[in-house]
């Protein structure tokens, strides 16, 4: 009897809960159908695409350089003596011939006087020897003396002439030495600090007094690597890089504060050998410096312009991703599906990469929203305008830049 009651109770419970379970299942099915419908009705995501085109891009080779005077001389005294006075202001521009230092002239004045006295003595002896020779010539004609006596008189007169020439040279040397006590600027330029103070004993030809650098025009020295040279030559040979006629490249400067130097320079030296210790090649540019704004020793960025990369392809850096196999971009096919395309890049220009392989004109590259894409996805492509052509920067350091 108890078992019959229990079964009846379970039956009544099932009958009461069945409608509720049915309603819950029905609601769940409707919810799933609404979700599927929403997913089917969702439009494809929009992405910005750039249609690839080729263009001739100016190339800028960039290096680190240092200024130097076009002529730099070390000023040394040509005679020894006590340094009496410094006449110039250190660090100022001086003209060629400006008196820089004065040495004590007294010893050289005495030496000149001594040389002049010796010359006078030798000239007197020459006069006497010439008179003796004239008398001996007359006596020889009269047969009063032998030929040997006459020859001796003539030799004495010639020796006196030689001594006079030597004495005159000594006077000239002493006069030059006295003049060298005034040390003049050998070139026009900017002076350095005085290396010797007044009252110092200066040794001729040894002690450095100061330096002068000619800064108009001014040189900028820089170097580039052997790899840069080989890369540049191969790109020119392959037609990927075109140099201007007669290789007349223009050179610009960016100073340490980032400002542009207003004058344009030119290359005037390219070494013919690679330095064994560094593997670099020395080069030099020359710039006008009329207002002496540049001084020797300044560091600056050297920008060499004039070369062009013909039919180049560039894409924004934001479009380029890096995977296990290297760099790649997403393309949108004609059917709206996404494709991952591996590429190789070269230099950069502002916010763009130069693409050396993997793309061709007409490809549509995704430039925004790339992080949420997967190959095979369907997207809606929204075209964007390409950026204005700018110069390609070929490396910011000599180790990465192109060869000039």
Copy the structure tokens of residue 339.
Answer: 């494709």
Q: Which pLDDT band, with edges at 50, 70 and 90, does 371 fall under?
A: confident
Count the residues in the chain. Answer: 404
The DSSP secondary-structure symbol of 319 reads: G
Domain 106-179 has CATH 1.10.287.470: yes
Architecture of the domain defined by 46-59+310-393 = Beta Barrel (2.40)
Helix spans in 239-332 (H):
none
> Which tens digit of pLDDT belongs to each residue from 169-187?
999 999 999 999 999 999 9
Strand duo 55-76 + 299-316: pairing: antiparallel
The residue ranges of every structural domain in the chain are: 46-59+310-393, 61-68+215-307, 72-101+189-213, 106-179
**Cβ(209)–Cβ(81) under 8 Å?**
no
DSSP reduced 3-state for 219? strand
CB 45, CB 372: distance < 8 Å: yes
Please report the sign of the dihedral spanned by the C-alpha atoms of residue 17, residue 20, residue 26, residue 32: negative
From the candidate CATH numbers 1.20.910.10, 3.40.50.720, 3.30.365.10, 2.40.30.170, the one assigned to the domain spanning 61-68+215-307: 2.40.30.170
Angstrom distances, CA of residue 373 to CA of 325, 363, 364: 18, 17, 15
- 35-44, 59-68, 70-79, 393-402, range with the lowest pLDDT: 393-402
Q: What is the pLDDT of residues 173-232, one digit of tens each?
A: 999 999 999 999 999 999 999 999 999 999 999 999 999 999 999 999 999 999 999 998
Q: Are 147 and 153 in contact (CB under 8 A)?
A: no
Please name the helix (run of DSSP H) or strand (run of DSSP E) that holds residue 21, with its range, or none. helix 2-41
Q: Which helix (H) or strand (E) holds 344?
A: strand 344-349
Q: Which two tokens stand for residue 161?
A: 């002439």
């Amino acid at each position: 009897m108890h078992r019959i009651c229990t079964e009846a109770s379970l039956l009544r419970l099932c009958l009461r809960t069945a409608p509720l379970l049915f309603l819950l299942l029905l609601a769940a099915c409707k919810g799933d159908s609404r979700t599927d419908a929403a997913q089917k009705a969702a439009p494809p995501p929009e992405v910005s695409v750039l249609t690839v085109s080729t263009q001739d891009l100016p190339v800028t080779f960039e290096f680190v350089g240092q200024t130097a005077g076009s002529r730099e001389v070390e000023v040394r005294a040509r005679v020894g003596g006590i340094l009496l006075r410094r006449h110039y202001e250190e660090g100022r521009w001086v003209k060629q011939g400006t008196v820089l230092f004065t040495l004590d002239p007294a010893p050289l004045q005495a030496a000149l006087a001594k040389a002049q006295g010796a010359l006078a003595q030798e000239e007197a002896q020459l006069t006497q020897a010439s008179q003796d020779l004239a008398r001996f010539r007359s006596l020889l004609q009269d047969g009063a003396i032998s030929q040997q006596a006459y020859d001796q008189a003539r030799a004495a007169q010639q020796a006196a002439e030689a001594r006079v020439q030597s004495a005159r040279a000594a006077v000239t040397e002493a006069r030059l030495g006295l003049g060298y006590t005034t040390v003049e600027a050998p070139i026009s330029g900017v002076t350095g600090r005085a290396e010797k103070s007044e009252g110092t004993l200066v040794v001729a030809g040894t002690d450095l007094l100061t330096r002068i650098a000619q800064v108009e025009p001014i040189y900028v020295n820089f170097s580039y690597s052997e790899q840069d040279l080989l890369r540049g030559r191969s790109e020119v040979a392959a037609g990927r890089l075109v140099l201007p006629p007669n290789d007349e490249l223009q050179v610009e400067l960016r100073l340490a504060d980032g400002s542009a130097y207003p004058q344009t320079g030119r290359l005037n030296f390219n070494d013919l050998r690679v330095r064994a210790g560094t593997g670099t090649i020395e080069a030099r540019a020359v710039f006008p410096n009329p207002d002496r704004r540049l001084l020797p020793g300044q560091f600056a960025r050297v920008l060499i312009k004039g070369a062009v990369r013909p039919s180049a392809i560039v894409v924004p850096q934001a479009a380029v991703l890096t995977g296990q196999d290297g760099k790649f971009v997403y393309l949108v096919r004609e059917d709206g599906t996404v494709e991952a395309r591996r590429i190789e890049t070269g230099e950069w220009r502002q916010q763009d990469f130069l693409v050396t392989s993997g793309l061709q004109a007409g490809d549509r590259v995704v430039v925004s929203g790339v992080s949420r894409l997967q190959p095979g996805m369907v997207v809606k492509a929204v075209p964007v305008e390409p950026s204005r052509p700018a110069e390609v920067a070929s490396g910011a350091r000599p180790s990465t830049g192109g060869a000039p």
